[in-house]
Amino acid sequence: MAGSPEESVKRPPTPDQRRGFLARMLALVCGGLATLPPLVAGLWVVLDPLRRQGGAAAFLPVTELPSVPDDGMPRQFTVIDDRVDAWTGFVAEPIGAVYLRRRPGSQQVEALSATCPHAGCFVEIDKAARCFRCPCHNSTFTLDGGIVAPSPSPRAMDSLECRVEPTGGIAVKWQNFLTGVAAKVVKS
Ligand code: FES
């Protein structure tokens, strides 16, 4: 049965109804705002490793100047950086190795990546023969990283930027490069 004409007319909301509606909207907005900080923090944790990978390479502290005697013989050092762990935050762990060398009487430090440019094996130093050798496919390099023919490596060992801090600390700009190609191209 159809209602009376008065019943079908829509009545405007009363002041109480309006207040109730506004209170519900306000609660909804406040609830949404409250979830933002944890959401942003979560996103930061998830995206941080990507940001760090894509960003510029960092200078990482490797050792102190007295640990690299000025006798022209390269010394090997482990490069350590923070890895982001989902449960414990940042964990320091080895990410590679470098050879540091000081020529006689020099305060300058030269750095070579210990990663072989041929296929990524670890290059070893042969102190007796005064050269580097890669055990995987017998590439040989001079002490300043130059390639010795015949070697399968398509290029010399990769030099790295290196600086001696005023405190005597040595920092190396750690980068990985593409292997198996003649050009020295930073791995992205
Ligand atoms: S990986 Fe070093 S010679 Fe092949």
Digit-by-digit pLDDT tens for the chain (188 residues) are 444 555 556 677 777 777 776 777 777 665 655 655 455 444 444 444 444 444 467 899 999 999 999 999 999 999 999 877 777 777 889 999 999 999 999 999 999 999 999 999 999 999 999 999 999 999 999 999 999 999 999 999 999 999 999 999 999 999 999 999 999 999 98
143 in Cβ contact with 101 (< 8 Å): yes
User: What spacing in Å lies between the alpha carbon of 114 and ligand 1's midpoint?
Assistant: 11
Q: Residue 131: how many CB atoms within 10 A of its CB?
A: 14
Q: Which residues line ligand 1 (CB under 6 A)?
A: 116, 118-119, 121, 134, 136-137, 139, 152-153
Residue ranges per domain, the chain?
A: 13-53, 58-173
What topology does CATH give the domain 58-173? Rieske Iron-sulfur Protein (2.102.10)
Query: Percent helix, strand and coil across the chain, each rounded to 5?
Result: 25, 30, 45
Q: Whose CA is nearest to atom 1 of ligand 1?
A: 119
Of ligand 1's atoms, which has the minimum distance to the CA of residue 179? 1
- Using a cut of 0.75, tell me whether the model's pTM lies above it: no
Instruction: Pick from 113, 131, 137 the residue to mutate for probing ligand 1's pocket: most ligand atoms within 8 Å of its CB.
Output: 137
